[in-house]
Amino acid sequence: MALVTIDTTTVAETDRLDFWRATVCDQFVALDVTPSTTGLVSGRVTASSVAGTHLRRISSVPHRFERTPSQVRAADEDYLQIALARRGRTLVAQDGREAVIGPGEFVIYDSSRPFTFVTTDSFEYQVCLHPKSALPLSRAEMAEATAVALDGRRGVGAMLPPLLSSLDRAIGDDVPVAAQEAVARTIGDVFVALVRSTVPATAPENLHVARARGVIRERIADRDLDPAGIAAACAISVSYLHKLFAEEGTTVAGAIREERLQGAWTDLRRPESAHVGVGAIGARWGMPDPAAFSRAFRTRFGRSPKAHRES
């Protein structure tokens, strides 16, 4: 958890703008970095990483930061990020939504889609970049939570500022690798709690979709669960069922797979399941083929079921 500090005052004045742009892109993700002021650019970044989760603190003069579609296509970063404002006000835009955050407020955003940050004055943020593959969240859940202003002083959001402050104090200590992995899991759990506490201002879920998801949960252990059986239980046609899930941005098969993998993800972390074999847990969630279960789990979460349990 060694701390790295990068400051524009350490380079020649003629090189500062290029140095600053390179620093921001290296320490966060590829961005268009445009200071809104004339004259010398001043900026500072402190950086640390904990088992693949990156912690950053950035301060500078007014800026526009933009993640463009071409940068998204060219990149291999895939993080869900949180920016907690410590100073200044910022407009954040992503996924057709806009939010304004000030000191004590934060926003969730996704590196795999374009976004824009525009600050109105000098600013300071604490930023956490967490690998999406390590989160048991669906794409739909993550997309609903972006560019929504969240309050770090009340509700579930109140967990975030003290966590980031405590991580600041821990940086630089000789923390064992096993402890770092536990810290990263804790950060991931906070991401999950924050995303799932964010209620989108949209219409309630379609009644047929809600009923279909209920059938999936009830019959998840049935390896033969398929769209035809779900449609029959909901008294709708298979084609209409597929249409409903397509409107939700997923597929019926994808919803079944996600429910199974999230259930297995949780079971593998339960102490009371420690004596249960990995293959048996896969079978419990309707995936009786150990090799197929392991492949699907690795694809979704970036690690094998065994590695997830051992971590």
Q: What percent of the chain has pLDDT above 90?
A: 60
Q: Note the pLDDT tens digit of each residue in 79-109.
A: 999 999 999 999 999 999 999 999 999 999 9
In the predicted structure, residue 168 carries a pLDDT above the cut 80: no
Q: Note the pLDDT tens digit of each residue in 34-50.
A: 998 777 889 999 998 88
Q: Note the pLDDT tens digit of each residue in 239-248.
A: 999 999 988 7
In the predicted structure, residue 74 carries a pLDDT above the cut 80: yes
Q: What pLDDT does 172 receive?
A: 56
Q: Concatenate the DSSP letters of all residues of the chain into one string.
A: ---EEEEGGGS-GGGHHHHHHHHHHHHS---EEEESSSS---EEEEEEEETTEEEEEEEESSEEEEE-HHHHHH----EEEEEEEEES-EEEEETTEEEEE-TTEEEEEETTS-EEEEESS-EEEEEEEEEGGGS---HHHHHHHBT--EETTSGGGGGHHHHHHHHHHHTTS---HHHHHHHHHHHHHHHHHHHHT---SSPPPPHHHHHHHHHHHHTTT-TT--HHHHHHHHTS-HHHHHHHHHHTTS-HHHHHHHHHHHHHHHHHH-GGGTTS-HHHHHHHTT---HHHHHHHHHHHHSS-HHHHHH-
> What are the chain's domains?
4-196 (2.60.120.10), 207-310 (1.10.10.60)
Yes or no: say if 265 and 301 are a contact pair by the CB < 8 Å rule: yes
More confident residue, 209 or 1: 209
In the predicted structure, residue 33 carries a pLDDT above the cut 90: yes
Please, which pLDDT band fits residue 260 given cuts at 50, 70 and 90?
very high
Please, which pLDDT band fits residue 173 given cuts at 50, 70 and 90?
low
Q: Mean pLDDT, to the nearest integer, of 160-189?
A: 79
Q: What pLDDT does 297 receive?
A: 92
Token reading at 8: 């524009």
Token reading at 62: 């007014």
d(C-alpha 255, C-alpha 210), whole Å:
12
Q: What percent of the chain has pLDDT above 70?
A: 95
